[in-house]
Amino acid sequence: MLSAESLKRIDRELAKYPADQRRSAIMAALRIAQEEKHWLSAEIIEFVANYVGIAPAAAYEVATFYNMYDLHPVGKYKLTVCTNLPCALRGGVSAAEYLQKKLGIGFGETTSDGLYTLVEGECMGACGDAPVMLVNNHKMCSFMTEEAIEKKLAELN
């Protein structure tokens, strides 16, 4: 269900913990699976849980609690814009509205070409760089003015 390389990466995560604490690797294991599959289907979550050696329900609890896990297909680029108060005070809501208009989609939607999914995010801990946007859960983008958004979209295309 996952490539040998992904399983090897999960094994490296599992090796960080004592045998009786394998469940500690579930967040990393789910992230690795999502990197390969681009989202986490119920079958993938169950496979990862079984591979790690925990109950599938425990893996579902993690996957549904944290918003970095995608339980439905997303675009090639998942753009998460922070609209919490610090970012909102420094243009986060405006940045989100600009992206919605530019991409022609709302939060939780994907462009018809499958390129972008737009998500409203919670605090990303970078208030001093507000407004911030996260690309594919990994790349933090700071000071996301309309010009910065245009530049980032051009880089992604």
Which tens digits make up the pLDDT trace of 85-122? 998 999 999 999 999 999 999 999 999 999 999 999 98
Residue 123, marked binder: yes
Tell me the fold of 4-65.
Arc Repressor Mutant, subunit A (1.10.10)
Q: Which residues pair with 81 in a beta bridge?
A: 120, 133
The C-alpha atoms of residue 64 and residue 140 are separated, in whole angstroms, by 22
Average of pLDDT values for 76-90? 93
Residue with tokens 């499958």: 114
Across all residues in the chain, what is the average pLDDT?
A: 95
Residue 141, marked binder: no
Which tens digits make up the pLDDT trace of 5-25? 999 999 999 999 999 999 999
Q: Which residues pair with 120 in a beta bridge?
A: 81
Please state whether the predicted TM-score (pTM) of the whole model is above 0.85.
Answer: no
Neighbour tally for 90: CB within 10 Å: 19
Supply the pLDDT for residue 138.
Answer: 87
Percentage above 90 pLDDT, the chain: 90
More confident of the two residues 123 and 51:
51
Supply the pLDDT for residue 67.
Answer: 83
> Contact 96/115 with Cβ under 8 angstroms?
no
Strands 109-110 and 77-82: unpaired
Domain residue ranges in the chain = 4-65, 77-156
Write the class of the CATH domain 77-156: alpha beta
